[in-house]
Structure 1
């Protein structure tokens, strides 16, 4: 198969409906990528068939979307209805058999590689068999009627920790359903909000898989898609859902009032002990408690001239902006040294590292819409701006690491229109070191998608011959709920593969609500934990 030709894609849409934001984003991204070709827009005249819902669900979902999922209309940069509806076909028939022309001759004339289905009803199986890579769809496209979307209701009713996004295909001679990719996202306040966020993240996931297929033309999908159909919520389900939503909204309103009165901030504490990333036991750790005027988070350790220093995000209770402070260990206690870096914008995640005889720090500066590298001119309190990169973007929790003689930048960007989210997409770049004059993106960025694994939680370690990456596990509606240790099994500009080898949840000490960062040096480790306040 010729991989130099673009992948020819058809998009199946419902008759008589305006495009949703996520659908326009998909069309736009396909047209923007030279590896992909929007070959046809196919119309389904009976796209919702038996998918009917009650008036109560329709009214409630509309009201909920207005309250919790409002977003500006997406303005297409490449897709233009006056130009791209030329190849628009009444491809799938009405129930009475009229209006369709999905014949083998028709498909051969279109010469499509695959079709993306945005509707609950799809193409007939005999048509799908003629597509080399089948018919693709998301699980959220299956959970909708002509006027209502019920994706996410079942998760909130079940008090699930996450909402799962699945991209699957009907493929092959038997038109078998096979899984292409999946990602899990932190549960939201409401189903409408969660559904809107997942749809936006789904665009990124879809485009990554399409470009991967365009590059390889290989479609080896051994996992059968076994997700059961999720029916629309019943009347009793809706009553129970309304009680859950009312309680969640009331709790959030109370927290918002406290925050406005400057009496509420996320309160983090630190725990330290002896051990390495491969064997640390947080239940045996010693607490370094916060005070009202000194809350510490995102701790990084740094060994210098025989002493262990602690760099961390520092703020007082009620603050909305943090700075970078530094302390020095005396046994298992930390003596304050001073302020290492303060800017007009929020700073956190001070990744401190050495390159030769120079010391650098990459703090999180996403509010400045760029990545900043600072060089130490006088340790540990004097720093000067050394380099910037990713101008106009919003990188979070960035780490520079050297592996097999190459420098790699790991960072959490957010590919978004309405819902910026630093917890769900991990991007990798090969760079020339702290100068960042050469930045080459990974071929399949973002290499990790999903709030349970994507966001960085500390520096990357080489330990016992393995490359280990701490990551956040954002679940249960809590930012920073847990901590993963991921083993990176493959790291090149063409491929990335990792697996979770350990997860730490806040149960290792009483009274904790989360834990989301880890670092270690010279036999000492440190992590932060969120207090249950």
Structure 2
């Protein structure tokens, strides 16, 4: 029997009463729509930015970049109405004051459990000390002034593989900071766009951790070692502008090639003998692309003593892909034809057996549902068998049986402005391929971050261990690398996994990425990227 707990009483610490960003409105909305929480008030800080300053040139550049490269439609709140919402203005602290009795008294008077801070400046230590769960904030909230936001700029300038997002809390009378959760995200061409994208992801991360707190009433933290980045210098801005110009020029050239129906990303396949816990890609043999048949997302299937290859297939310049199939003859693949073609894009043809039936669950996120197809005449004839997660944008889905249950692993894009399937892994307990009964994991999304979250092939059980291939999207490249994750705990309330191996695109010359693994009958296959 579930224990009925009173809602957690939350305040938001903001720097204004209006003009909120989309991600902030989304936070208000989701807290208000969840009965586990009560948004008591929005506290308005009298000096939200403190002494944080950025140069006038960077402020101008930042505003122009946001308008040009990070523009998005306005989020329309469903539950949040500023006319109905309580606001409380905090009084300025006297010069040299060590505390703010008004803030502390207000926190105690309205009975707050925690504060979510949107501003660089937080509550005074005595007020934080009176909060049961402290004051929460994201690292990007610390890296801004009144006119500029420099979160992520140093990562782009220094060409780091990814940008890290951290949610942390200040607790106790000393208001010491500690990490609650973190995730890393692949870099976009623009730091402003990168920040806007990560802020949207931050909403999901925040709500997941608030849900964990509401269920357990325990805040588990780890040491926080990150340093707050400073605004870019004039030299930094010059370096950044040069890199951004080059990126934009390459984007324009790529768009021109796409308009001329050419310039699609080219992938190739490599195959060899081995299993997920013991394969060596340096010893693999290439299955090269051919004109009109670029291959990616390969899945293997053993049938009547033969090994078949199902894969995403497309020609240079195609607007969408379909699923093709071939049969292995040694290390070469004999093409057999098109297995599945739809009006929408298809990829990631996860193929599996359940009893006597053969099923395929291709990626079909443009249909806004998961589709499972049943084979009626192997390997070229299929019929739609079931659908699930109607209305959601889900990609690269996998079904696996573990501990007597069926589990669905899928990458759902929870988005307003930035659809993305690389950043969030969702798990559901299901009744099998029928998908009549779908129960979400209590900690969805169970994994966040583009360096680990996206599925990269089927899940394998080997010698009592459970392995999940995942994509490592980093260095500004989709499909840069491949992880082998070991799932250590899987039930409806808990999920734990650890990365035990990463394969970079250096096992053969001329590769720019690798992002998929599958194996069957002692053979494995990976794909590798030849062009961006």
Report the more deviating stretch, 16-25 or 141-150.
16-25
**Partner Cα separation in structure 2 for residue 224 and residue 408 of structure 1:** 33
Maintained 8 Å contact 1:3/1:214: no
Q: Could you tell me how far 1:318 is from its partner in structure 2?
A: 1.2
The aligned counterpart of 2:19 is: 18
Q: Which residue does 2:487 correspond to in 1?
A: 488
Post-superposition offset of 1:15: 3.3
Q: Which residue of 1 aligns with 2:72?
A: 71
Instruction: Tell me the residue number matched to 2:499.
Output: 500
Matches within 5 A, 1:290-329: 290-329=289-328
Residue in structure 1 matched with residue 198 of structure 2 by the alignment: 198
- 1:128 is aligned to 2:128: yes
- Structure 2 residues without counterparts, runs of 5 or longer: none
Aligned to 2:268: 269
CA distance in 2, matches of 1:10, 1:160: 35
SS in 1 for 2:506: helix
Farther off after superposition, 440-449 or 94-103: 94-103
Tell whether the 8 Å contact from 1:91 to 1:100 is kept in structure 2 after alignment.
no
Deviation at 1:106, TM superposition (A): 2.5
- Contact (CA 8 Å) 1:3, 1:217: kept in 2 or not? no
Question: Displacement, 1:291?
Answer: 1.1
Aligned residue number for residue 258 of structure 1? 257
Q: Which sits farther off after the overlay, 484-493 or 103-112?
A: 103-112
* Alpha-carbon shift at residue 432 of structure 1 (Å): 0.2
Partner of 1:360 in structure 2? 359
Secondary structure of 1:283's partner? helix
- Residue aligning to 1:214: 214
| Conserved? CA contact 1:92–1:101, under 8 Å | no
Which runs of at least 4 in structure 1 moved beyond 6 Å after TM superposition? 97-100
Per-residue Cα deviation, 1:59-98 (whole angstroms, up to 9, x for no partner): 100111111100011100000011112xx21235255599
CA distance in 2, matches of 1:113, 1:499: 33
Shift of residue 169, structure 1, vs aligned partner: 0.7
State the match for 1:463 in structure 2.
Answer: 462
SS of residue paired to 1:209: helix
Contact 1:274 1:280 in 2 (8 A): yes
| CA shift for structure 1 position 119 | 0.3
Q: TM-score of the superposition, structure 2-length normalised?
A: 0.97
Contact 1:46 1:94 in 2 (8 A): no
Matches of residues 91-490 of structure 1 in structure 2 within 5 Å?
91-94=90-93, 102-221=102-221, 223-490=222-489
| 8 Å CA contact 1:3, 1:215 repeated in 2 | no
CA 205–92 in structure 1, closer or farther in 2 if over 3 Å, else same: farther
How far apart, in 2, do the equivalents of 1:16 and 1:7 lie? 23
**Alpha-carbon distance between aligned partners in 1 of 2:21 and 2:94, rounded to the nearest angstrom:** 25
Show the counterpart of 2:508.
Answer: 509
CA–CA distance in 1 between the matches of 2:177 and 2:104?
21
Deviations 1:422-450 (Å, cap 9, x if unpaired)? Answer: 00000100000000000000111111110
Q: Which string of whole-angstrom CA distances, capped at 9 and with x for unpartnered residues, describes residues 358-409 of structure 1? A: 1100001101111101001111111111001111111100001100110000
Q: 3-state SS of the aligned residue for 1:297?
A: strand
Q: Is the 8 A contact 2:180 2:220 kept in 1?
A: no
Give, in whole Å, the separation in 2 of the partners of 1:314 and 1:426: 25
CA distance in 2, matches of 1:198, 1:498: 23
SS at match of 2:477: coil
- The answer for the alignment partner of 1:7 in structure 2 is 8
In structure 2, the CA distance between the partners of 1:375 and 1:16, relative to structure 1 (3 Å rule), is: closer
CA distance in 1, matches of 2:279, 2:529: 19
How far apart are 1:7 and its partner, in Å? 1.2
By how many angstroms is 1:5 displaced? Answer: 1.1
Distance in 1 of aligned mates of 2:145 and 2:314:
48
Distance in 1 between residues matched to 2:311 and 2:166, nearest whole Å: 37
Tell me by how many angstroms 1:107 deviates: 1.9
Shift of 1:105: 3.6
Cα pair 2:13 2:45 within 8 Å, conserved = yes
- Structure 2 contact 100–124 (Cα < 8 Å) conserved: no
Q: Counterparts of 1:385 and 1:92 in 2: how far apart (Å)?
A: 63
Secondary structure of the residue aligned to 2:338 is: strand
- Determine the C-alpha separation between the residues in 1 that align with 2:326 and 2:169: 53
RMSD: 1.5
| Alignment size in residue pairs | 529
Tell me if the contact between 1:400 and 1:408 (Cα under 8 Å) persists in the aligned partners: yes
SS in 2 for 1:388: strand
Q: 1:43·1:92 contact (CA, 8 Å) conserved in 2?
A: no
Structure-2 residue corresponding to 1:83: 84
- 1:91 touches 1:101 (CA, 8 Å); kept in 2? no
